[in-house]
Amino acid sequence: MKHSYLLIMVLAIVLMGCSGKENKKTTAEMVKNPISGKGVDESVKMPEITFIDENSDNSQFHDFGVLIQGETVVHTFKYKNTGNADLIIRSTSSTCGCTVPNYTKEPLAPGEVGKIDVSFSSSARKGRQHKAITVLTNAQPASNKLVIEANVVVPN
């Protein structure tokens, strides 16, 4: 009896998973990839994200230096669409709730500049802090990493 009940439950789950909903397929027109088995297709228009910072050699890194515990600081990462199609940031995420990214939501045309403001709260933190922010775009590579650091000291 137990086996029959189990078999009926498994069969019901399988049948519910095969509902008559329309199956949306990804077509070649939806995926823009200039790299194929034949090499690089220069005719495919692609966005390209380039981080820019006139004051630093590493435009994807910022060190806040020494912070007193409880301070909140913000750094703006600037980027430019150096490709030949609109650049879209799909999402950003950070390794910690103390680090909050806020980014340009509108598509960037080729040549335009956008920004990602990263806020870091040093509350309940102490010592050297290293936080990463992942930026997902429609460019290739799709994922880019920004890094912030700070040395948080506890006041006496």
Give pLDDT tens digits for 92-143: 999 899 999 999 899 999 999 999 999 999 999 999 999 999 999 999 899 9
Q: What is the DSSP string of the chain?
A: -HHHHHHHHHHHHHHHHT-S-------TTT----EETTEE-TTS----EEEE-TT-S-TTEEEEEEEETT-EEEEEEEEEE-SSS-B-EEEEEESSTTEEEEE--SPBPTT-EEEEEEEEE-TT--EEEEEEEEEEESSSSSEEEEEEEEEEE---
Average pLDDT over residues 13-40: 52
Write down the pLDDT at residue 2.
Answer: 58
In the predicted structure, residue 26 carries a pLDDT above the cut 50: no
Structural fold of domain 47-153: Immunoglobulin-like (2.60.40)
Write down the pLDDT at residue 76.
Answer: 97
* Tens-digit pLDDT profile for residues 49-98: 999 998 888 999 999 999 999 999 999 999 999 999 999 999 999 989 99
Average pLDDT over residues 15-25: 49
Write down the pLDDT at residue 14.
Answer: 53
Write down the pLDDT at residue 97.
Answer: 93
Write down the pLDDT at residue 66.
Answer: 97
Residue in this structure with the two tokens 């000291």, named with its chain if needed:
153
Q: Would you say 99 and 92 are in contact if contact means Cβ atoms under 8 Å apart?
A: no
Write down the pLDDT at residue 39.
Answer: 61
- Higher per-residue pLDDT: 112 or 26: 112
Rounded Cα–Cα distance for residues 17 and 80 (Å): 44
| The two three-digit tokens of residue 77, written as one number | 């990462």
Length of the chain as a residue count = 156
Residue 22 identity (one-letter amino acid): E
Domain range summary for the chain, segments of one domain joined by +: 47-153
> Is the peptide bond preceding residue 141 cis, with omega within 30 degrees of 0?
yes
Give 128's contacts (C-beta < 8 A, 6+ positions apart).
149, 150, 151, 152
Write down the pLDDT at residue 22.
Answer: 47
Write down the pLDDT at residue 67.
Answer: 97
> Residue 128: exposed, middle, or buried by beta-carbon count in 10 A (0-12, 13-18, 19+)?
exposed
